[in-house]
Structure 1
Amino acid sequence: MNPARLTIAGFALAAVLGTGLLMLPLASQDGQGTDVVTALFTAVSALCVTGLVVVDTAGFWSGFGQVVVLVLIQVGGFGIMALASLLGVLVARRLGLRGQLAAAAETKTLSPGDVRLILVGVARTSLVVEAVTAAVLAVRFATGYGEPVPRALWLGVFHSISAFNNAGFALWSDSLTRFSTDPWICLPITAAVVVGGLGFPVLFELRRHLRAPSRWSLHTKLTVLGSAVLMVVGPVVVCVLEWRNPATLGSLSVPGRLLAGFFQGVMPRTAGFNSVDIAQMNSATWLGSDVLMFIGGGSAGTAGGIKVTTFAVLLLLIVSEARGDEDATVFGRTLPRNLHRQALSVALLGVGAVVTSAMVLVATTRFPLDQVLYEVVSAFATVGLSTGITAQLPPGGQLLLVALMFLGRTGTITLATALALRSRPRLYQLPAERTIVG
């Protein structure tokens, strides 16, 4: 079993176990148990750090059920293979070559020799960011909203893990809309989302060479620059399109509008928290969010989408073609040809999955295209934002979203590799011939 198949199998097994636990009577507040579709949807959404829900997380699941959801979020964010490899390091103090390759496939480290240090660093980074965010949130919940200390700690831990892993699960039925103007809630969650979405290789490199950008790798430069640009574009789009909408930003004060607009502009990349009512947004805002969700965050992080670097490579290819350059170059480096093919494959497979799924849902449900497209992109990009139609979809539609979430988390290229029966290296090259393009 190659690393790609092992990754798929690990996620599938975790999804089955999570579904079984959520179906237990102990997991629901009424003690009656849960049907398989609801349990499967919630388990996959948590494991794939998406955040789409068909039942209210706080109102439907018991304390045990919420703990199961939280564990699935943490396991999914860290990566099944990365977690298994880390346990192997801690217990056996050694990793076999197969274990290193499996962990490298999940964490997208650059060489198998770095896997051991990467895995330990991933664990430390996760715990530190989650602990700091949880502490800030817990203090705010206790002092600003009068929550008892145990409840404040639970709220802080749950939402910090959900934020760092870009999951978007919240313990209120309206997500974070009640805190839309509270910077002590919105900004720590935003910071955790951004840090988790950059990707662990980028975080490690920034820690080593934060003040020496010239020493950054090309991957880090593209991720940081692309993320910075999109973090400006997203809030600007939301603020411009929703500024006068009384159902979203229009009813808030100017500072409140700016905070809510910033928060909601960052969340599509790719955490499912919302501080305004998504269902009341303009169709143009939904479309802009679709683009942001599809691009997603950094590689090897907890964000989804086709990734910022994939989008950057495609953009550079367009620029180089428009200039008539033979090679695509950036920051004094030439992008290899196999990288071109990989970026095109990831993007086109993503487009195909989104378009096909949207066509199926439009044909089988009563919802308009803009809402269906928003839901489908959110599922594929493992974002979790919703216009409110997820719970109203028929079981077949919900299972389709389950498949999209699984595909989005494991990656289109990884899934395609895992499904391939065998590779066939070609020992010869056929004559080249051009075709007309465009």
Structure 2
Amino acid sequence: MRRFFRHPVRLVPVGFLVAILLGTGLLMLPQASAEYEYTPFTVALFTATSAVSVTGMSVVDTPTYWNEFGLIMITVLTQAGGLGILTGAALVILVVARQLGLRNRLLVQAETAEYGLGNVRGLLLRIAAIALVSEAVITLVLAGRLWLGYDYPPGRALWYGLFHAVQAFNNGGFALYPDSMLRFARDAWVCLPVAAGTIIGGLGFPAIFDASRTWRQPGRWGVATKLTIWGSLALLVVGFVGLLAAEWGNPHTIGPYGWADKMLTVGTQDAVLRTGGFEFIDMAALDEESYPLLLGLMFIGGGSASTAGGIKVATFFLLAFVMWAQLRGEPDVTVGRRRVASTSQRQALTVALLSVALVAAGTTGLVALAENVRDYRALFEVTSAFSTTGLSVGLATTLGEPGRLVLTVLMYVGRVGPLTLGSAIALNTRRRLYRYPEEQPIVS
């Protein structure tokens, strides 16, 4: 056991698993349900995993099934999962002991992917500041809108604002309304704060910190920052144009809206589409042309070391540069006058292929275990669970226990990350002191 925990990256999946199990136990208590009855194990496990993995997918009607205690627990689990179990533990150590040892610094680095060990103190403080300030601003805007525009009592408006602010920044996707956020699809005072919080939380702390230091000189950004920020902007444009074109005349979604409301609704849905999980457009009513676009965007996800899931924006665009270099016959892969290390290329390829394999296996398992599921819905639910997006076409609520367990495993693996989980399972890291002769096989 000591040998297993010697490498800090192995504590990442264990930390999330412990949080999920604790959350499951608390959500099973009668005090957590609206009917004050014991919640079935699979329902509590699914909900806890969805909250800790900041997915937002649910097999029950969240606002009616859970009472105040249950909703508070979901909020706490979402916050813990979004910031990272190990980052939170390091913050506690920092407050209590006023210092961080080498092991604790390594633990934080394994979760946040920050560069260097000397910046751990500043990293933790900046993470906490960004999260708390962002959530506080979103809370105040949403609470003010609900109070002044929808006649909510001040206390209720503040609670609803806080709940959805935490979900937005952490890319959670749980909502206190049966229709998610459909009722606010044309309300800019609700749409814009939720979209902004989702984007900020989904960029990733390394990209935010790097860009903020040299925001006037984008050319000095690191390769990962460039891939994440410019790639995210490109995906937002592609998603907006594609979804707007596909749904423009759909009478079941945005067809009846005016052009300004169409732009606002599609722009907000596009912002939360890759990992946010909120529905400003009914996913079950989309035209079939929209689903391939949604599947691709969900699979890519957000930025590295962020509250988002997926294979990550930098991974996707790094592979695009790898293919471009190969097609051009270039000996090196370069991004912005920087040569990308071969190790990073192999990691990106490993993450992508493992993710494709997991989504394919999950879809096959869901089709085999669930009844009357033979269409795109199985692939959509599996991709949404693995990418920790949380969007649903209504299949999750109809699944039995085997199907729920499949999605539960995918949410956990999707949050931990295929590469991190693989590194945690590998008990030994070998470094060879020799190299075999090189041979170039035929690839066609």
Q: For the superposition of Structure 1 and Structure 2, which TM-score range results when normalised by the shorter chain?
A: over 0.9
1:421 to partner: Cα distance:
2.2
Does residue 268 in structure 1 map to residue 303 in structure 2? no
Aligned to 1:411: 417
Rounded to whole Å, the distance in 1 between the matches of 2:268 and 2:95 is: 38
- Matched to 2:81, the amino acid is G
1:57 to partner: Cα distance:
1.1
Aligned to 2:437: 431
Deviations 1:179-200 (A, max 9, x none): 1100110111000000000111
Rounded to whole Å, the distance in 1 between the matches of 2:105 and 2:96 is: 15
Aligned to 1:247: 252
Further displaced range: 39-48 or 106-115? 106-115
1:206 to partner: Cα distance:
2.6
Alignment of 1:54-65 (within 5 A): 54-65=59-70
Aligned to 2:348: 343
Runs of at least 4 residues of structure 1 off by over 3 A? none
Which residue of 366, 370, 374 corresponds with 2:380? Answer: 374
TM-score between the two structures when normalised by the length of structure 1: 0.98
1:320 to partner: Cα distance:
0.3
Q: Do the aligned partners of 2:54 and 2:307 also contact (CA within 8 Å) in 1?
A: yes
Alignment of 1:145-160 (within 5 A): 145-160=150-165
Rounded to whole Å, the distance in 2 between the matches of 1:26 and 1:104 is: 37
- When the two chains are superposed, the root-mean-square deviation of aligned CA atoms in Å is 0.9
Rounded to whole Å, the distance in 1 between the matches of 2:425 and 2:342 is: 24
Q: Do the aligned partners of 1:237 and 1:265 also contact (CA within 8 Å) in 2?
A: no
1:424 to partner: Cα distance:
2.2
1:284 to partner: Cα distance:
2.1
Aligned to 2:403: 397
Which residue of 13, 18, 24 corresponds with 1:13? Answer: 18
Aligned to 2:46: 41
Rounded to whole Å, the distance in 2 between the matches of 1:333 and 1:85 is: 33
1:368 to partner: Cα distance:
2.9
Rounded to whole Å, the distance in 2 between the matches of 1:367 and 1:284 is: 20
Q: Do the aligned partners of 1:236 and 1:265 also contact (CA within 8 Å) in 2?
A: no
1:364 to partner: Cα distance:
2.8
Percent identical: 47
Aligned to 1:166: 171
Aligned to 1:218: 223
Which residue of 381, 389, 395 corresponds with 1:383? Answer: 389
- Matched to 2:187, the amino acid is D
1:205 to partner: Cα distance:
2.2
1:219 to partner: Cα distance:
1.5
Which residue of 67, 81, 85 corresponds with 1:80? Answer: 85
Aligned to 2:73: 68
Deviations 1:210-246 (A, max 9, x none): 2221332222111110011011111111111111111
SS at match of 2:254: coil
Does residue 284 in structure 1 map to residue 325 in structure 2? no
Rounded to whole Å, the distance in 1 between the matches of 2:121 and 2:304 is: 19
Aligned to 2:180: 175
- Matched to 2:49, the amino acid is V
SS at match of 2:119: helix
Cα gap change, 1:403 to 1:230, in 2 (>3 Å) = same
Q: Do the aligned partners of 2:365 and 2:406 also contact (CA within 8 Å) in 1?
A: no
Q: Do the aligned partners of 2:105 and 2:117 also contact (CA within 8 Å) in 1?
A: yes
Paired positions, count:
438
- Matched to 2:268, the amino acid is F
Rounded to whole Å, the distance in 2 between the matches of 1:404 and 1:143 is: 41
Gaps in structure 1 of 5+ consecutive residues: none
Deviations 1:309-357 (A, max 9, x none): 0001100001000100010111110000001100000000000000111
- Matched to 1:94, the amino acid is Q
Q: Do the aligned partners of 2:369 and 2:402 also contact (CA within 8 Å) in 1?
A: no
Aligned to 2:204: 199
Cα gap change, 1:88 to 1:53, in 2 (>3 Å) = same
SS at match of 1:330: coil
Rounded to whole Å, the distance in 2 between the matches of 1:171 and 1:52 is: 13
Q: Do the aligned partners of 1:49 and 1:76 also contact (CA within 8 Å) in 2?
A: yes
Q: Do the aligned partners of 1:320 and 1:326 also contact (CA within 8 Å) in 2?
A: yes
1:207 to partner: Cα distance:
2.5
Rounded to whole Å, the distance in 1 between the matches of 2:375 and 2:110 is: 35
- Matched to 2:266, the amino acid is G
Gaps in structure 2 of 5+ consecutive residues: none
1:294 to partner: Cα distance:
0.5
1:293 to partner: Cα distance:
0.4
TM-score between the two structures when normalised by the length of structure 2: 0.97
Further displaced range: 101-110 or 365-374? 365-374
Aligned to 2:330: 325
Rounded to whole Å, the distance in 1 between the matches of 2:274 and 2:17 is: 25
Rounded to whole Å, the distance in 2 between the matches of 1:363 and 1:12 is: 26
Further displaced range: 69-78 or 359-368? 359-368
Rounded to whole Å, the distance in 1 between the matches of 2:17 and 2:323 is: 37
